[in-house]
A and B are shown apart, each in its own frame.
Chain A
Amino acid sequence: MSQSFDILALYDSLTPKERAELDRAMEENPTMADAFGRWNSLRAEVRRELAADLPDRALLVLYALADDDVLDADEQARLRAGSANLAVAMDRHPGLVDVVQRIHGDREAFEDVWAAHTAPNRQEKALSEDRPPLRLVGPQSPARWVWRIAALVTVVLGSALLVHIAMRDAGFETIRASELMAVDLPDGSSVQLAEGSVLMIPQEGRPLRQARLMRGRGLFDILRDEANPFKIETPNADIIVLGTTFGVEVTDIETEVVLASGIVELASHADRDAPVRLEPGQRSRVLSLDPPSEPALADVNAELSWSGDLFIRAERMARVAEYLSEAFDLPVEVGQDLANEMVSGTRFEREAGLEAAVQELALSLGAEVVSLEGGGFRIAR
């Protein structure tokens, strides 16, 4: 029982199912309901105090930006007028100080995004100038000349490599995903990047149907244009796309592609003329500069689960309902006559929500959706 009381504190972050269970428990236990009521009253009191002490929340934004010379005259006047009350409010409520800190983070995030969308390609300084001064030396042995020539060759090759990298990266914008993020590609396609991924996309003036995944994982949604295939380059492989959804994972030595729908071709940089063609539900990988592995069956939903979306390659409707129910934590029921119908080649985007998913299924099956009391849906003919 004590544990049940604890969990009341997190009521508003629980799933509907968990809340329903707690609601039932409170109906049977007035002490528990009373504790919950008092907790909510306290929260309401905190909210009332915050609203009374800081009626104009925009002041926090102005305050957070005040030191950065971005406020216009009206905003500065507004901040001056509210500064006394704001100081009192921040003194009384330490949470407001945290909000100001968070707004600083918001500002940095906005500037990063703005720079990523608008700034010309920025070349990172790759060479350090911390070299020791040259020294005059006496007569030198042949071995020393061998080392010198080797060092010279190394420097020349290194310089050539840097020039090559600089030329290769010119006209591309580099996006580093600090968390799961969506990127709109210049041609209207899109990609979800996993945290830590590095993607390069073409800037204006470059052919738009291309991108480079240098590291990490990407779930690509490529607009169909058979006359103009999309090319994704990784450090060791090329992926030619005709219009499709697929995941790519790139490490220093390996590129792996998992295809959800459509068609892609994967080739090693060592032999670009010998690609393998993947069908939906297949995977292939290029290890170092080896040829691509033979396409093999993949568990697409498991492989791409990091994206948060749900992929159905070919499943019975009853199983699809179970997947959706687990993913959204709401009941999804299926009429008996639909349970064994096959669903294939479908992707449910989490952000679209459960109702959109069941409506899409119902439409494809010629069925109807009924909302269940207490949440969830039933699909039946």
Chain B
Amino acid sequence: MGGGYTPASLYAMHPLDPQAVIRAQKGDEAERGRLLAAIEPIVRSFFRARIGRVPDVDDLVQNTLVRVHRGLEALENPERLKAFSMKAALFELQDFYRGRYSARESLYDPDIPPSDPAGVGSAGLRLDLERAMDVLTPHARRIIELRELGFAYAEIAETLETTEAAVKMQVKRAFERLREVLTALVLAILAMSPSI
């Protein structure tokens, strides 16, 4: 759990008060420390609310505070500290989504093309995939895109205002549909190939 807050009686001014922000900007290290300490539980609660109580929250909080720390001097209007901190947290959250599944993907390396017994070649495969995508419903495409953008199925369901089970069902159907289409395309290419 992150820390709480310091009783106001110890300080004359709230650390998020614009005057306190100005002091932090002007080099008052104690004030800067208080400001970051005051923001820390806010961003922690925010990240927990958005992605749950997962270990990644610690990294997101740390990185957001680094963004705030580094950008504080450039903050022209100290009244805008909330918006400034919010943007730091939102940028960080998008970075998190972008890299979310990279470690897991390395387990099966989707970037390695599948076996190619028909000798279709990568250009043919790319074309097949483009044509295969066309057979998907717009809803299924949205789901696949959101997944590749780093969102968990539960988050996709929340975004699309449906259930996680419904989202997973759509993914399974897309998979089956693509399998049928890709198999048919490969067979067609095999039939047309003079070398086979």
Contacts and interface: CB of A to CB of B under 8 A. Distances in A.
Contact of B115 (A33, A116, A205, A308): A33
A90 to B, nearest CB: 11
Contact of B3 (A30, A33, A184): A184
A229 interface: no
A181 B115 contact: no
Contacts of B54: 351
B41 A184 contact: yes
Contacts of A180: 53
Contacts of A190: 1
Contacts of A101: 159
Main SS at interface, chain B: helix
Interface string B53-92: 1110000000000000000000010001011011101110
A188 interface: yes
Contact of B148 (A8, A11, A46, A183): A46
Nearest to A307: B53
Contacts of A36: 114
A364 interface: no
Interface string A86-99: 00000001111011
Contacts of B179: 5, 35, 38-39
A12 B133 CA distance: 20
B45 to A, nearest CB: 5
Nearest to A16: B107
Interface in A1-56: 5-13, 19, 30, 33-47, 50
Contact of B90 (A41, A61, A72, A116): A61
A368 interface: no
Contact of B42 (A10, A47, A114): A114
B176 A181 contact: no
A106 B182 CA distance: 38
A57 interface: yes
Contacts of B152: 13
Contacts of A128: none
Contacts of B93: 106
Interface stretch (B5-13, B19-27, B188-196): B5-13
Nearest to A99: B149
A70 B79 CA distance: 11
A47 B172 contact: no
B94 A57 contact: yes
A196 B63 CA distance: 31
A353 B146 contact: no
Interface string A110-123: 11011011100000
B4 interface: yes
A42 B3 contact: no
Contact of A34 (B3, B9, B46, B115): B115
Interface in B12-39: 14, 16, 38
Contacts of A34: 114-115, 117
Contact of A181 (B42, B45, B159): B45
Given A38-B182, A182-B53, A110 B90 contact: yes
B46 A70 contact: no
A181 B45 CA distance: 8
Contacts of A75: 87
A113 B1 contact: no
A10 B86 contact: no
Interface string B164-187: 000010011011101100100000
Contact of A95 (B1, B85, B90, B146): B146
A316 interface: no
A189 B4 CA distance: 8
B176 A353 contact: no
Interface string A169-186: 000000000011111111
A65, A98, A185, A205: most-surrounded residue (chain B CB, <10 A): A98
Contacts of B8: 204-205
A42 B113 contact: no
Contact of A113 (B42, B91, B107, B109): B42
A75 B109 CA distance: 36
A362 B152 CA distance: 33
A332 to B, nearest CB: 19
Contacts of A116: 45
A184 B98 contact: no
Nearest to A191: B1
A9 B87 contact: no
Interface of A: 5-13, 19, 30, 33-47, 50, 57-58, 60-61, 64-65, 70, 72, 75, 93-96, 98-99, 101-103, 105-107, 109-111, 113-114, 116-118, 179-190, 204-205, 208, 221, 308, 350-353
Query: What are the 4 tightest A-B residue pairs by CB atom distance, in nearest-first order?
Result: A37-B114, A95-B145, A40-B110, A9-B175
Interface of B: 1-5, 7-9, 14, 16, 38, 41-42, 44-46, 48-50, 53-55, 76, 80, 82-83, 85-87, 89-91, 93-95, 98, 101, 104-105, 107-115, 117, 125-126, 129-130, 132-133, 138, 141-149, 151-153, 155, 159-160, 168, 171-172, 174-176, 178-179, 182
Given A8-B175, A41-B110, A204-B14, 9 more contacts: A33-B115, A36-B114, A39-B175, A44-B111, A45-B126, A106-B90, A114-B85, A181-B48, A184-B3
